[in-house]
């Protein structure tokens, strides 16, 4: 196993995963290719095409491949470990494809569906309302058939099931996620513990950078040599991205337990106590949230 630690492996994800020993990885985060049907460069959204593979196969072939990848990930993640899978709802000729369609065909327990509000996205046509959301599925590998697992630490308790991050802009990769996203996941699940974090479609290395800056080990996989060399360069210079990680960490510091907060009638997730406890929330989000509360007369 040690030969894979802090490495980026080049190849087809499902084949590379087969080489990794079972029950050896603590946590995973990824955004796979979405099978967006792009044969040619997007006519309105520029740079949407990956450089090594076409993101265009028959939908049933795509879903079967994702099931195989997810089951390999299930094998290599330790019991009690988690995998966070970013995807979105898609349509083809009016037919909707929802990620839950294939997630429920894998070995994973779906622990939560998180809405990622990206605030902006390319609005190509008007058949539907402007789709600015994506999903992040928290997938869990039970220990001894216990599907509930451990609670999150109290310090993460002001974070909700809606995550609001704009897309990453300063990255030459065609579809990176923002550094805050894997940072939130890694710090919420592993806290101060050591651990190995895998991203099986690591692209520009965003998950790996977050893992390194949070003092965790990582394993990355991607098919593209160019993206891998960019990710390696990024990892070498990752200290320059530390500020974003620190800003995210500021959102994780509620000290009292749920029980203590309930006894003191402090915030337990109810809106009416929100103003008193909003000092826990990052300044920018707080002012946005407070203006909404003022607007709603709360
Ligand atoms: C959505 S991107 C991931 C971006 C990444 N989260 C980031 O922040 O840069 C998906 C990645 O999967 C890679 N990819 C596509 N098909 C693959 C396959 N069969 N095996 C391995 N990697 C693949 C692409 O090269 C691309 O970098």
Q: Band of the pLDDT at 261, cuts 50, 70, 90? A: confident
Mean pLDDT over each residue of the chain, to the nearest integer? 88
Q: Which among 212, 203, 215 is positioned nearest to 235, based on CA atoms?
A: 212
Per-residue pLDDT at 141 exceeds 80:
yes
**Model's pTM, two decimal places?**
0.90
What is 2-251's CATH superfamily? Vaccinia Virus protein VP39 (3.40.50.150)
pLDDT at site 64: 98
Average pLDDT rounded to a whole number, residues 2-18: 97
The preferred substitution site among 17, 33, 48 for testing ligand 1, maximizing ligand atoms within 8 Å of CB, is 33
pLDDT at site 50: 78
* pLDDT more than 90, % of the chain: 71
The two structure tokens encoding residue 9 = 């492996």
Least confident of 13-22, 71-80, 171-180, 260-269: 260-269
pLDDT in tens, 286-296: 555 445 444 44
- Hey, which bits of 67-167 come out as E strands? 77-87, 90-92, 95-97, 109-117, 133-140, 162-164
Of the two residues 277 and 67, the one the predictor is more confident about is 67
Least confident of 35-49, 146-160, 190-204, 212-226: 35-49
Give residue 173 CA to ligand 1 midpoint distance, Å.
Answer: 10
pLDDT at site 279: 47
- Decide whether any atom of ligand 1 lies within 6 Å of the 53 Cβ: yes
> How would you classify the pairing of strands 217-222 and 109-117?
unpaired
Average pLDDT rounded to a whole number, residues 216-237: 98
Average pLDDT rounded to a whole number, residues 154-172: 93
pLDDT at site 265: 81
Q: In ligand 1, which atom is closest to the CA atom of 51?
A: 25
pLDDT at site 262: 84
How far is residue 203's CA from residue 205's CA, in Å, rounded to a whole number? 5
Given its phi and psi angles, is residue 274 left (phi above 0), alpha (psi -120 to 50 degrees) or beta? alpha
Q: In ligand 1, which atom is closest to the CA atom of 177?
A: 8
How far is residue 201's CA from residue 35's CA, in Å, rounded to a whole number? 14
Of the two residues 238 and 297, the one the predictor is more confident about is 238
Of the two residues 125 and 185, the one the predictor is more confident about is 185
Give residue 162 CA to ligand 1 midpoint distance, Å.
Answer: 24
CB 20 within 8 A of CB 4: yes
Give residue 205 CA to ligand 1 midpoint distance, Å.
Answer: 10
Per-residue pLDDT at 177 exceeds 50:
yes
Give residue 78 CA to ligand 1 midpoint distance, Å.
Answer: 23
Domain with CATH 3.40.50.150 in the chain: 2-251
Given its phi and psi angles, is residue 10 left (phi above 0), alpha (psi -120 to 50 degrees) or beta? beta
């Amino acid at each position: 196993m040690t030969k894979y630690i802090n490495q980026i492996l080049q190849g087809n994800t499902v084949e590379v995963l087969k080489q990794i020993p079972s029950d050896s990885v603590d946590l995973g985060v990824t955004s796979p290719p979405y099978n967006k049907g792009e044969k040619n460069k997007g006519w309105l959204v520029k740079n949407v095409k990956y450089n090594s593979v076409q993101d265009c196969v028959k939908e049933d072939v795509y879903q079967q491949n994702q099931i195989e990848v997810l089951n390999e990930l299930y094998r290599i993640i330790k019991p009690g470990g988690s995998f966070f899978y970013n995807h979105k709802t898609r349509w083809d000729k009016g037919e909707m494809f929802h990620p839950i369609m294939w997630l429920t065909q894998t070995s994973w327990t779906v622990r939560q569906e998180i809405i990622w509000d990206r605030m902006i996205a390319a609005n190509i046509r008007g058949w539907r309302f402007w789709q600015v959301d994506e999903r992040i599925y928290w997938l869990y590998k039970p220990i001894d058939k216990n599907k509930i697992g451990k609670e999150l630490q109290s310090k993460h308790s002001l974070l909700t099931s809606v995550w609001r991050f704009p897309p990453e802009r300063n990255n030459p990769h065609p579809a990176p996620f923002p550094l805050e996203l894997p940072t939130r996941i890694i710090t919420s699940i592993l806290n101060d513990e050591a651990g190995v974090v895998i991203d099986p479609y690591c692209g520009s290395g965003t998950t790996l950078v977050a893992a390194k800056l949070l003092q965790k080990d990582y394993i990355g996989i991607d098919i593209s040599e160019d993206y891998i060399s960019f990710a390696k360069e990024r990892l070498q210079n990752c200290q320059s991205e530390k500020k974003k990680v620190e800003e995210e960490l500021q959102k994780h510091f509620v000290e009292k337990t749920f029980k203590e907060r309930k006894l003191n009638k402090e915030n337990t997730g109810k809106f009416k106590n929100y103003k008193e406890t909003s000092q826990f929330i990052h300044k920018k989000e707080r002012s946005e949230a407070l203006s909404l509360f003022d607007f709603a007369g709360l």
